[in-house]
Structure 1
Amino acid sequence: MKNIGIYVLCVVFVSGSAIAQSDKANLTTWPKGSSPEEIGKRVADRFIATPHPNFGRPTPPKTITYPEVCAWYGALTFEKESKNKKLKQALIDRFEPFFSTEASLVPIPDHVDYTVFGSIPLELYMQTKDQKYLYMGKSIADKQWGPPEGPRVKDESHVFYKMGHTWQTRLWIDDMFMITAVQAQAYRATGDQKYIDRAAREMVMYLDSLQRPNGLFYHAPDVPFFWGRGNGWMAAGTAELLRSLPQNNPDRPRIMEGYKKMMATLLQYQAADGMWRQLIDDAESWPETSSTGMFTFAMITGVKNGWLDKEVYGAAARKGWLALITYIEPNGDIREVCEGTNKKNDRQYYLDRKRLTGDMHGQAPVLWCATALMR
């Protein structure tokens, strides 16, 4: 009887520990006011109310900027998961002037930061089946892999094109969200595998060229710093690509390897409060929200698709989400967003970057996370 009692106590203890661990990794139940439905709506509504931004400048932009595109894409995917018809119509209405009075704001797709715009009309097509969106988005995706043309063409543009890569290749880690987003969207919209295959080949080339032994990425080969948002673009882009990449794609194992290697190192550098920092491996740098949102999105997506251990990475993702949303102001703006940043081989340069509130670089990942949690 004594042994039976001990056995029962052990079972209860082990079961209790398992439940406690499972709660830490729970990605479906949230404290009041912190659910993806509530947070996503606040941030999406804020997006609708915000005029076209211009990297913090008071003047309107000459063309739609990539941070707005990323937030717009996030709002559209959130709206799809939440089935919010009012939000859907508002997002359609915001786009409609690009066919008339705001046509000049549509970026010329001759650079990765401009070509990513195509992900919006492709999403609108998938949700509405209106052919005008498909025509616009598909033509942008096609031009990315077309022959080099325009004033941005460089000598290396022709080299990359002849290798079967996009002539817009720069080997900047930002590209692996900008390129994969529009090409993955073209695949989802058309079912034509050439789009996802070309994105996968591009991703492998970037991984082979830029990923460091620890799985992270320097901001540039001559700038040996693990800048948060730069790595965030790669983390989010890899997860977004893998989400739609067919299982039989020959490049999938290599991309999954690079993704998992990155996630494992990010896990080590998540702070106790759930945040990641402006310089990932620098404990003296400040907690930064855009990178935290991107890393959290990548981990949520990995857990939801079974690529990452649910208990380990689910706990990190939950902690990341609950930390991230504490930086959201009552009006839906998120604080502590690193301003747009060029490369510089100077640690202090990164530590001194302005910390913005409401910048679309930070708004977008919150919406991506909300969507991923609801999928």
Structure 2
Amino acid sequence: MRTNTPRLGFSVALVVMSVQVGSAQTTNDPLLSALQTVAALPGAPSIVAAAGLTRANERLLTLEHAGSVGDPERRLVIVGGLDRTSESAQAVLEALRWFKSDAPAALRRTWTITALPCVHPRRCSPGTSGGGPESSGDLAFPPEGGFYNHDTSPELRYLWRWVAFQAPDLVLEVRSGQDQSWEISGAAGTLTLDGPRPPEASLAAAISTGTPSGLGPVAGVRVSTNVDGAPRMLRTLLEAAASLPRSPLHEALLERSSRTPLEVATVLANRYPASPGVSYIPAVAWSNTLRLATRLGDDALVEKVRNQMARFLSGEAPTVSQPYRLTNLAGLFAFVDFSEPGRSQEALDLAVAGAEFVFPQAPDDVLRSPTGWTDDMFMATSLLSRVGGRTGDARYGATVGRLLTSYAESLQRSDGLFVHSARGPHAWGRANGFAILGLTEALTFLPDDWADRARVLDIYRRHAEVLLRHQAPDGMWQQVVDEPGSYRELTVTSMTLVALARGVRLGWLDDSYRPVIDRAWRGVAAHIAEDGAVVDASTSTGAGETKQYYLDRTAVFGPDERGGAMALWAAVEIDELVRR
């Protein structure tokens, strides 16, 4: 179908984005310009984002919307460029432009569309030979392992996860061709279209079978079309899918995101920690299991924590031992929480002893055994602030104030984000989570007249404000916060949600943050399986000198102590905010 609306200025080809480590997206890229033009048209989709990165750090640009998986519209995801041609990417853009400008109102009311026009940016350049994914073994779907650090084709891992978490009811893979022809997966059998099955290793075929990303199948279709025929192609597809039901994948994500915070928290509290010990990860799970127990009046959850702490409370196992690491000593903050209200004096005594041990040993020291990473801001503050609040001893607040303000001076950038360390000057996601949680814990537990409150509150608010600008359309934050192509990561999202939700609840932030928090909660809930397994939690990470170091940290898919504990905290915190 031809229309009278001029075609977008993306007529020749895509050029490779110069997105090397430490550099930004070029502003003269034709694909970016074309997507921005489509985004500016009335209606959705209207957000230019990124689904991932190539091994050369070229962004996989997307056009998305910020709607909920519970919205009534059917959801279509369009993918181009898998055939390594610029024409398929142009066809996707032309179809999007038609949908937003000229499609019948009934179709726009029925469907929501997101799109990734070019999976292989370099292969979309002019003069590059075509060839579908089935022609190369490393381009087969579903991709196995390597999320998101595969040596040759990380983009397929990014694509696979991104498509699934767009909650599609229909996935359309667009290829370049002179004539329009369809390939229809078995799951798309209700479509009134004719065509053979797509190749087994294609995206359209693989997404329609099994449980992609642990969710469920979705109807997949592959089409060959030329650019001029793209609007007619999309209209044909949408009309043929008039009776298409909501996909099992969409239903699975809807079920996850519809759970209440208490339902998610209960699943996680009963699963984590699976390996209890004195360390910050079990402590996060213990602390929030106790909060959940109070909320539900569930003594069994209290007993679970008591039993897991028993060998430490009895003295059978030490709580302070070599090697002295703040990540371990931080585990004692949960002992403060367990000691309330009058539950265990032994727990409080152990926490106080640990806090005393953390104090600096020389006048120029900030702490004992610091790493200089933002991790310290949370590890030390979570313990010292609680003990200071319980004992009224001003030494704890003074140490926390010096720690937080000195680290902010050296690690908080002018834009408000934190870098991980002087040696790792990159805005790693969990590094920012540790920073804002440390600030949050100090503001929560230290007294109103704490000498450093005003300064720490200002640091917190600057950090919160800039984090808003880096939230992905689905509510998540990225593995590297200011790299939109890095994977959407669970722990930084959970930690940021906790800090923002508590800020609104306690009056440090205004209610304009609520929509951001709501989107973040939907993102977290979608990344927690029914059994408490998680999706895309960054593995343990030290300080790295390059951004690539952080981009290549493995994303955990399955049971994960850290991801489960942080998501539990997010669930408990959002429940408290909702009840306010």
Post-superposition Cα deviations, 1:292-337, rounded to whole Å, max 9, x if no partner, equal: 0001111101110111121x21111111011111111111122210
Seen in structure 2, the aligned counterparts of structure 1 residues 281 and 244 have a Cα distance that, compared at 3 Å, is same
2: distance between equivalents of 1:352 and 1:146? 35
Residues 1:190 and 2:391 are matched in the alignment:
yes
Partner of 1:51: 275
Question: Residues 107 and 326 of structure 1: is their aligned pair in 2 closer, same or farther, counting only changes over 3 Å?
Answer: farther
Deviations 1:193-212 (A, max 9, x none): 43233212221111122211
Task: Name the aligned partner's letter for residue 269 of structure 2.
Answer: A
Residue 276 to residue 196, structure 1, CA distance change in 2 (3 Å): same
TM-aligned CA deviation for residue 108 of structure 1 = 4.7
Deviations 1:60-118 (A, max 9, x none): xxx64432222222322332333321101111111112245951576458321121122
Partner of residue 452 from structure 2, selected from 248, 251, 254:
251
How many residue pairs align between the two structures? 322
CA change 1:338–1:193 in 2 (3 A) is: same
Q: Are positions 1:271 and 2:466 aligned together?
A: no
| More deviation, 174-183/245-254 | 245-254
Mapped to 2, the partners of 1:106 and 1:167 lie a distance apart of 13
1:175-230 deviation digits (Å, cap 9, x = unpaired) = 11100001112123333343233212221111122211011111222333210011
Query: Which 5+ residue runs of structure 1 have no aligned equivalent?
Result: 1-23, 25-29, 53-62, 148-160
Letter in 1 for 2:270: D
The answer as to 2:408 corresponding to 1:228 is no
Q: Take 1:299 and 1:200, find their aligned partners in 2: how far apart are those partners?
A: 20
Distance in 1 between the 2:380 and 2:357 partners? 12
2:59 maps to which residue? none
Residues 104/223 of structure 1: CA separation in 2 closer, same or farther (3 Å cut): closer
Report the alpha carbon displacement of residue 267 of structure 1 after superposing the two structures with TM: 0.1
The answer for the alignment partner of 2:91 in structure 1 is: none
Match of 1:350 in 2: 550
CA contact (8 A) 2:479 2:551 kept: yes
Shift of residue 164 of structure 1?
Answer: 6.6
State whether residues 98 and 106 of structure 1, in contact with CA within 8 Å, keep that contact through their aligned partners in structure 2. no
Tell me, yes or no, if the aligned pair for 2:426 and 2:547 is still in contact at 8 Å: yes
SS in 2 for 1:335: strand
C-alpha distance in 2, partners of 1:353/1:32?
26
Letter in 1 for 2:440: A
Q: Is the 8 A contact 1:278 1:285 kept in 2?
A: yes
- Cα deviation, residue 368, structure 1: 1.8
1:86 aligned onto 2:300: yes
1:38 partnered with 2:263 = yes
Q: Which residue of 2 aligns with 1:135?
A: 349
Task: Give how far 1:122 is off.
Answer: 1.4
- 2:514 and 2:345 map into 1 onto residues whose CA distance is 39
> In 2 relative to 1, CA 331–245 (structure 1 residues): closer, same or farther, beyond 3 Å?
same
What is the CA RMSD across the aligned residues, in angstroms?
Answer: 2.4
Counterpart in the other structure of 1:76: 290
Return the TM-score normalized by structure 1.
0.79
Partners of 1:126 and 1:189 within 8 A in 2: no
Tell me how far 1:141 sits from its aligned partner.
0.7
Task: Give the structure 1 partner of residue 527 of structure 2.
Answer: 327
In structure 2, what is the equivalent of residue 372 of structure 1?
Answer: 573
Asked whether the 8 Å contact 2:382–2:438 carries over to 1, the reply is: yes
Kept after mapping to 2: 8 A contact 1:74/1:371: yes
Equivalence for 1:158:
none
Contact 1:227 1:279 in 2 (8 A): yes
Deviation at 1:145, TM superposition (A): 1.2
Contiguous gaps of at least 5 residues in structure 2: 1-67, 69-254
Structure 1 equivalent of residue 407 of structure 2: 206
TM-score by length of 2: 0.52
Aligned to 2:500: 299
| Map of 2:540 onto structure 1 | 340
Counterparts of 2:570 and 2:257 in 1: how far apart (Å)? 17
2:517 is equivalent to residue 317 of structure 1: yes
* SS of equivalent residue, structure 1 residue 282: coil
Q: Is the CA contact (8 Å cut-off) linking 2:320 and 2:354 kept in structure 1?
A: no
What's the % identity of the aligned pairs? 29
- Which residue identity does 2:311 align to in structure 1? P
Structure of higher RCO (CA pairs closer than 8 Å, 6+ residues apart): 1
Deviation at 1:374, TM superposition (A): 3.5
